[in-house]
C-alpha cells in the first residue's frame, strides 16, 4: 500500500524540480532580455532619426528575421489558438505604440530620464492583471514597487526641480509605459496558446505594419540616412528586439507579468550607466542612489515565488500549450 504513495511523492517531487528548473531558465531569459532592452535609448539617440522612424525599422528588421525563422523552423505539435493569435495582434499594435512614444521621448529628453519614466509599466501591469486575470498584487510586490518608485523619483528629482513642468518628452515616456504595461499582459495571454517564436513573428509583423502606416501618414522620411544611422537602426533591432524582447517573451511564458514588469525596471539604471560614457550624460548622486533603490525593489519582489499565475496555469492546461 505504501509503494503507490512513494511513486506519487516521487512524481510530484520530479514535477516540482522540473518547474523550478523552468522558472530558473525563465529568470535567466528575463535578465538577458533586460540587458538587450537597456541599449534601446542609446541606439535610438545614435540613429539620429525621428522616434517614429526608428520604431518602425526596429520592428521591420526584426519582423523579417522572425517571420523567416518561423517559416523554416519545425512546428510544434500544438497549434496556436485563435485567442492567442488575437492577443499577438493586439500586443503588436500596443508594442508599436510603445516604441513610437518611447523613441520620441528619447529624442526630446535625456536617455536616462526617458527610460526611468518609461519603466512605470508595473503600475499598469498590476492594475491590468488585477482586472484581466484576477491576479491581485501581494503586499511584497507593493513594497518592492514602492522602493523602485522611490528610486525613480530620486533619479528624476533634480531635473523636476530645475524644470518644474513636465515636458512633451516626459509625457511621451509615460504614455509609452502605459502601452508597454498593456503589451506585457497580452504577451502573457498570447503565450498560453502560442510558442515564443510564433508569437514574436506575429507581434513584430503587426507592429511594423502599423508603424509603417503611421510613418506614411505623418510623411516621415524612410530613406536617405547615413551609414551611422543605418548601423544604429540595425543594432536597435538586434539588441533590443531580436535579443531583448524575444527573451522577455520567452520568460513571460513561465513567469507572471507582474513579477516580470518589476524586474524590467532594472533596465533604467543600466541605461543610465550606459548613457554616461556613450552619450555624455553623467550620473548625479541622486541618480546613483535612485538606481540602488530600484535594484533593492527588484530584490524584494524577486523573493516572491517565480511561478505563473493560476489563470495562466489553467489556460495552458486547457489549451495544451507549453
Asked, for residue 301, whether it belongs to a domain, the answer is: yes
DSSP 8-state symbol, 304:
S
Structural domain tally of the chain? 1
**pLDDT greater than 70 at residue 314:** no
Asked, for residue 33, whether it belongs to a domain, the answer is: no
pTM for the full model? Answer: 0.78
Residue 166 confidence class, pLDDT cut points 50, 70, 90: low
Asked, for residue 20, whether it belongs to a domain, the answer is: no
Alpha-carbon distance of 256 to 251, in angstroms, equals 9
Asked, for residue 271, whether it belongs to a domain, the answer is: yes
Asked, for residue 154, whether it belongs to a domain, the answer is: yes
pLDDT recorded at residue 16:
66
**pLDDT greater than 90 at residue 53:** yes
Asked, for residue 229, whether it belongs to a domain, the answer is: yes
Alpha-carbon distance of 232 to 278, in angstroms, equals 13
**Contact in structure between 263 and 35 (CB atoms under 8 Å):** no
Structural domain containing residue 141 = 50-319
Q: What is the mean pLDDT of residues 224-232?
A: 96
pLDDT recorded at residue 206:
97
Q: Kindly report, residue by residue over 253-297, the tens digit of the pLDDT.
A: 778 766 777 787 788 888 988 998 999 888 778 778 888 888 788
Asked, for residue 39, whether it belongs to a domain, the answer is: no
- Among the listed residues 152, 57, 155, 52, the one whose alpha carbon sits nearest the alpha carbon of residue 104: 52
Rg (CA), the chain: 20
Of the candidate ranges 18-22, 235-239, 304-308, the one whose mean pLDDT is the lowest = 304-308
Asked, for residue 18, whether it belongs to a domain, the answer is: no
Angle, vertex CA 121, rays to CA 116 and CA 126, nearest 5: 140
Amino acid at each position: 500500500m505504501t509503494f503507490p504513495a512513494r511513486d506519487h511523492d516521487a512524481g510530484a517531487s520530479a514535477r516540482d524540480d522540473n518547474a523550478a528548473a523552468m522558472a530558473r531558465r525563465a529568470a535567466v531569459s528575463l535578465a538577458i532580455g533586460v540587458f538587450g532592452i537597456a541599449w534601446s535609448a542609446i541606439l535610438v539617440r545614435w540613429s539620429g532619426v525621428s522616434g517614429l522612424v526608428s520604431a518602425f525599422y526596429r520592428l521591420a528588421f526584426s519582423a523579417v528575421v522572425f517571420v523567416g525563422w518561423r517559416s523554416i523552423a519545425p512546428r510544434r505539435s500544438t497549434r496556436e489558438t485563435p485567442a492567442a493569435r488575437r492577443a499577438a495582434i493586439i500586443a503588436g499594435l500596443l508594442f508599436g505604440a510603445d516604441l513610437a512614444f518611447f523613441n520620441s521621448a528619447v529624442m526630446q529628453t535625456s536617455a536616462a530620464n526617458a527610460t526611468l519614466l518609461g519603466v512605470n509599466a508595473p503600475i499598469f501591469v498590476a492594475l491590468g492583471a488585477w482586472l484581466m486575470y484576477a491576479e491581485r498584487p501581494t503586499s511584497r510586490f507593493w513594497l518592492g514597487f514602492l522602493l523602485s518608485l522611490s528610486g525613480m523619483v530620486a533619479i528624476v528629482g533634480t531635473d523636476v526641480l530645475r524644470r518644474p513642468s513636465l515636458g512633451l518628452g516626459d509625457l511621451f515616456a509615460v504614455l509609452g509605459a502605459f502601452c508597454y504595461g498593456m503589451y506585457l499582459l497580452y504577451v502573457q495571454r498570447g503565450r498560453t496558446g502560442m510558442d515564443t517564436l510564433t508569437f514574436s513573428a506575429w507581434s513584430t509583423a503587426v507592429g511594423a505594419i502599423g508603424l509603417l502606416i503611421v510613418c506614411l501618414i505623418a510623411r516621415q522620411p524612410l530613406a536617405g540616412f547615413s551609414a551611422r544611422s543605418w548601423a544604429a537602426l540595425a543594432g536597435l533591432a538586434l539588441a533590443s528586439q531580436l535579443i531583448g524582447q524575444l527573451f522577455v517573451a520567452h520568460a513571460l511564458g513561465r513567469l507572471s507579468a507582474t513579477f516580470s514588469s518589476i524586474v524590467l525596471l532594472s533596465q533604467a539604471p543600466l541605461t543610465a550607466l550606459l548613457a554616461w560614457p556613450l552619450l555624455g550624460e553623467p550620473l548625479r548622486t541622486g541618480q546613483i542612489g535612485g538606481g540602488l533603490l530600484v535594484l533593492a525593489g527588484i530584490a524584494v519582489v524577486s523573493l516572491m515565488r517565480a511561478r505563473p499565475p493560476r489563470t495562466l496555469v489553467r489556460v495552458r492546461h486547457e489549451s495544451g500549450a507549453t
